[in-house]
């Protein structure tokens, strides 16, 4: 607690000092107890007051009545103590400098003057406290605390009038990245624009609030049909997803929206808010810019999801995860060049859980870091074993997630794994996708260049399914380009897919990149890819993903005892 302002005649000695240093030593313990007993510091309690003696500029003590309030300003959370002089506690007022008055009439006049001033100060303080307690200082919207009260009041009114009511919760996608990339000042300016756009989308009888750092809520009265919700949600999505002008920059953001209806989905404020948040969580699972209205099925899915999150944390620590390897085969010789490491979860009760179910869980729950660390260390250890057995497998590829690519400790984690396993860095390859690098190209380039300097190979996975920008091929130190299986599956019957595959291979070779075709399952596909000079293939035509022991047996049966990587020189690039 620091004294931010003082209305004494000489504030300089006090401004900026720790508040406790101004409190009389006999009142310090009581003040600390009063402050510490607040169960929820984020929820203002206007009725909680405390009396303490505070140092005055004239060297004496003032008996003050203290009131606490908290509020958000932009991305910062503040807690403030307001103090007012207790009327009649003394006849010397440091604000006015008026001393003792011996005349009864003068004393009476002084007391009346002081009383009027105290009333004025009290009203000003209470208005300030209410403004700070109930209003978001950045956007001017009502804040979370007042929103909860207003939502309950609106529900009671809707119940009395027989109206429906709609609650929408809006979450700005990856707003933390905007703060980190452009700065908090820019982030605050964008938040102000978002608030204005929301207010312009709703009626005067509706209510909008900022309920979190990057979350907003809208309550629409007299709305009892899902189509009303859909119409407003789509309008909000269109308006909020439009570019934001900040100085000379245009910033693009997206949002997810979840909604719930009264009385269909809940009869009380807490249940309605909870169900809207469940719908929001479901929307965020679908990706950026999604909207969902609550469905009771979501509750069961959310319970299962949370249960799986807890079980996944146990699975990582208890060794329930497995790594399977799908070989990558050289087209010209048929030799194995490497393998992609794919994680599997062998649940003791649910059986084999598909990656599509638990990998997103790991990303959203923060378990992706320990899981990827385990997969990478296992893959490096297993490749080292294959090399010791004389199997000519040049490298192993491990997939990175978007969250992990943005993690500051990624480079250090990989360095430690390579040092611990004794595997040369050139035999490890990490796979990224185009969508992973879209949020922050500069940060992605910095991370990938640091891995390149370490000696780790980098592959661009699923090429052709995203933005397919040549910027990535020029800006990132890539060594391998992987053609997505969606183009390979139809290549034997679709001439357009053949043209796309031919163009991608020619482009990659002009940049000295290796090309791996994914999802190869048919002889005809193999013939076309060989004719188009594809370097390597991966898919069920040669092998499904195999556990380590089966992979070793498979390699031994093919007598792959020497490395057969095609003679393509990796680009020598300066990491800039």
pLDDT in tens, the chain (576 residues): 444 344 444 444 555 566 677 787 777 776 776 666 554 444 444 445 677 777 776 667 777 777 766 555 555 555 666 666 654 444 333 333 334 444 455 455 545 555 555 566 666 666 666 666 788 889 989 998 889 888 998 899 888 888 889 999 999 988 888 887 788 999 999 999 999 999 999 988 889 999 998 999 999 987 766 666 678 888 999 999 999 998 888 888 899 999 999 988 998 999 999 999 999 988 988 878 889 999 888 888 778 888 888 899 999 988 899 999 999 999 988 889 999 999 999 888 888 888 888 888 888 788 999 999 999 999 999 999 999 988 888 999 999 988 888 888 899 999 999 999 999 999 999 999 877 776 677 788 889 999 999 999 999 987 766 555 666 677 889 999 999 888 898 888 888 889 989 999 999 999 999 999 999 999 999 999 999 999 999 999 999 999 999 999 998 887 644 444 444 433 333 333
Domain boundaries defined on the chain: 19-134, 144-294, 303-558
Residue with structure tokens 């999505």? 237
What token pair was written down for 399? 């997939």
Residues, the chain, total? Answer: 576
Cα separation, 428 vs 480, whole angstroms: 12
User: Over the Cα atoms of the chain, what is R_g?
Assistant: 32
Q: 156, exposed or middle or buried, with CB in 10 Å at 0-12, 13-18, 19+?
A: exposed
- The pTM (predicted TM-score) of the whole model is 0.61
Alpha carbon 477 to chain centroid, angstroms? 27
Given the candidates 3.10.450, 3.30.450, 3.40.50, 3.40.630, the CATH classification of the domain at 19-134 is 3.30.450
pLDDT of 307 reads 87
pLDDT of 562 reads 40
Cα separation, 497 vs 418, whole angstroms: 39
Given the candidates 3.20.20.450, 3.40.50.300, 2.60.40.2240, 2.60.40.10, the CATH classification of the domain at 303-558 is 3.20.20.450
Query: Is CATH 3.30.70.270 the right assignment for the domain spanning 144-294?
Result: yes
**Residues in contact with 13: Cβ distance below 8 Å, sequence separation at least 6, in sequence order:** 57
Of the CA atoms within 13 Å of residue 108, those in its CB half-sphere come to 3
What token pair was written down for 168? 């929408």
537 φ, ψ (degrees, to nearest 5): -130, 155
pLDDT of 57 reads 64
Biggest alpha carbon–alpha carbon distance for the chain: 114
| C-alpha dist (Å) from residue 359 to 178, 327, 356 | 25, 22, 6
Q: Crossing angle, helix 184-201 and helix 226-240, to 10 degrees?
A: 140
H-type alpha helices, 353-405: 355-365, 368-388, 402-405
Strand 255-262 and strand 165-172: the pairing is antiparallel
Alpha carbon 292 to chain centroid, angstroms? 19
User: Could you tell me which residues are beta bridge partners of residue 2?
Assistant: 18
Cα separation, 308 vs 164, whole angstroms: 35
Closest CA to 370 of 324, 415, 321, 418: 321
């Amino acid at each position: 607690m620091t004294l931010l302002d003082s209305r004494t005649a000489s504030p300089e000695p006090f401004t900026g000092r720790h508040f406790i240093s101004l409190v009389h030593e006999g009142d310090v313990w009581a003040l600390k107890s009063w402050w510490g007993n607040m169960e929820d510091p984020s929820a203002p309690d206007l009725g909680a007051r405390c009396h303490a003696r505070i140092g005055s500029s004239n060297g004496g003590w003032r008996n003050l009545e203290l009131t606490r309030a908290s509020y958000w300003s932009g991305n910062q959370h503040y807690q403030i103590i307001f103090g007012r002089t207790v009327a009649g506690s003394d006849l010397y007022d440091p604000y006015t400098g008026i001393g003792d008055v011996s005349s009864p009439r003068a004393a009476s006049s002084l007391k009346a003057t002081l009383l009027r001033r105290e009333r004025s100060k009290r009203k000003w303080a209470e208005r300030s406290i209410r403004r700070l307690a109930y209003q978001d200082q950045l956007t001017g919207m009502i804040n979370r605390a007042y929103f909860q009260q207003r939502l309950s009041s609106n529900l009671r009114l809707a119940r009395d009038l027989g109206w429906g009511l709609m609650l929408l919760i809006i979450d700005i996608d990856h707003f933390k990245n905007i703060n980190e990339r452009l700065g908090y000042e820019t982030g605050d300016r964008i938040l102000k624009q978002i608030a204005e756009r929301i207010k312009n989308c709703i009626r005067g009888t509706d209510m909008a609030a900022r309920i979190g750092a990057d979350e907003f809520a809208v309550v629409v009265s007299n709305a009892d049909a899902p189509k009303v919700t859909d119409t407003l949600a789509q309008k909000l999505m269109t308006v909020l997803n439009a570019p934001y002008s900040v100085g000379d920059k245009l910033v693009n953001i997206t949002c997810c929206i979840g909604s719930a209806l009264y009385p269909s989905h809940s009869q009380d404020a807490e249940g309605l808010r909870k169900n809207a948040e469940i719908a929001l969580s479901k929307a965020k699972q679908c990706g950026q810019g999604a909207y969902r209205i609550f469905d009771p099925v979501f509750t069961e899915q959310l319970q299962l999801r949370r249960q799986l999150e807890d079980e996944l944390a146990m699975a990582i620590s208890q060794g329930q995860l497995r790594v399977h390897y799908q070989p990558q085969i050289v087209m010209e010789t048929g030799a194995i060049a490497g393998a992609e490491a794919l994680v599997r979860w062998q649940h003791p009760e649910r059986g084999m859980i598909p990656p599509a179910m638990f990998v997103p869980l790991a990303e959203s729950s923060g378990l992706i870091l320990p899981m990827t660390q385990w997969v990478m260390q296992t893959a490096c250890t297993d490749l080292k074993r294959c090399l010791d057995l004389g199997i000519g497998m040049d490298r192993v590829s491990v997939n990175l997630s978007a969250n992990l690519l943005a993690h500051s400790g990624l480079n250090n984690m990989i360095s430690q794994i390579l040092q611990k396993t004794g595997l040369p860095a050139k035999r490890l390859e990490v796979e990224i996708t185009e969508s992973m690098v879209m949020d922050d190209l500069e940060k992605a380039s910095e991370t990938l260049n640091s891995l390149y300097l370490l000696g780790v190979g980098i592959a661009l996975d699923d090429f052709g399914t995203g933005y397919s920008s040549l910027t990535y091929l020029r800006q990132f130190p890539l060594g391998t380009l992987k053609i997505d299986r969606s183009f390979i599956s139809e290549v034997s019957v679709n001439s357009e897919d053949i043209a796309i595959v031919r163009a991608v291979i020619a482009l990659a070779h002009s940049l000295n990149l290796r090309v791996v075709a994914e999802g190869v399952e048919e002889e005809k596909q193999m013939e076309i890819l060989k004719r188009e000079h594809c370097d390597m293939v991966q898919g069920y035509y040669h092998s499904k993903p195999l556990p380590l022991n089966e992979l070793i047996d498979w390699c031994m049966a093919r007598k792959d005892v020497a490395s057969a990587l095609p003679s393509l020189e990796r680009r020598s690039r300066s990491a800039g």
